[in-house]
A and B are shown apart, each in its own frame.
Chain A
């Protein structure tokens, strides 16, 4: 009896996990070419689901994501390339739909920004390293005292 009591919550938890994992996209699309399939799988990971925002369309179960996967499949099976699909999507949903922003004038700062920050950081670091130590006032009396101390050591 105790075994059953202990296992029940575990079994329920396992069932819950099973339910969650079976939620992922399960469209059965057939490809005549493994390269097309690979491209499809790559693209659905690179296109953002505009409804759910922080999911790609491959991960999302939203109706729109399903439709966009279907569109992607249709275009790829017709033999269209990656650029074509990405253009199709960004013309309709804007650059936001692309998880990997393209290099263009309004994304320039996004791409080169980290390098600019790196250059600034290196510059600041170099200046910090090369800066002479703070001037220490060192009088004759101090010198005499230091010598005295050193002599005592010997």
Chain B
């Protein structure tokens, strides 16, 4: 009887490891930016290209950066969620119009509604790379000190907004800037 215990124990350990492996989502890559200062950008406004927005201008408030593009299919579904969130007046959402043609981006917002405080144009995708964007849509929550506190890869959903984003934003609002 005893001689079977050791292989059995080994088997159980193996099964546990495989079970954990099955539950992991390989598409989810932990962001190295959590807890670190938001990467700097200096980008033109989609609707008013003479106007530029820098990361430094946004300090002192909690804000969201939502990466979107007119060619991104799941952004369309996410857009309704973003609009709902903005309507709640919790905190401003900035758009990063990633690797898009400005006219396409404007037409997309024109047709679906524009919830963004400002949409920033990242035509080359360089700012996207600086922010480690790999799966549009992505959303970042940045605190008053300009530190990235949360990253959502893939579309926001109502439950993510209600269970994660809103509690986090409210908590960050109470922090000193």
| Chain A interface (Cβ < 8 Å from any Cβ of B) | 50-51, 53, 63-64, 67-68, 71, 90-96
Contact = CB atoms under 8 A, between A and B. Distances in A.
A110 to B, nearest CB: 14
Interface of B: 26-27, 29-32, 39, 99, 124-126, 128-132, 134-135
Given A63-B99, A67-B125, A92 B130 contact: yes
B31 A94 contact: yes
B99 A51 contact: no
A94 B134 contact: no
B32 A92 contact: yes
A71 B129 contact: yes
Nearest to B132: A92
Contacts of A95: 32
A94 B29 contact: yes
List 10 tightest A-B contacts by C-beta distance, closest first.
Answer: A50-B134, A92-B132, A94-B32, A96-B29, A67-B125, A93-B132, A51-B134, A64-B134, A94-B29, A94-B30
Contacts of A63: 99, 125
Given A92-B32, A93-B134, A94-B31, 6 more contacts: A50-B134, A50-B135, A67-B125, A67-B126, A91-B32, A92-B132
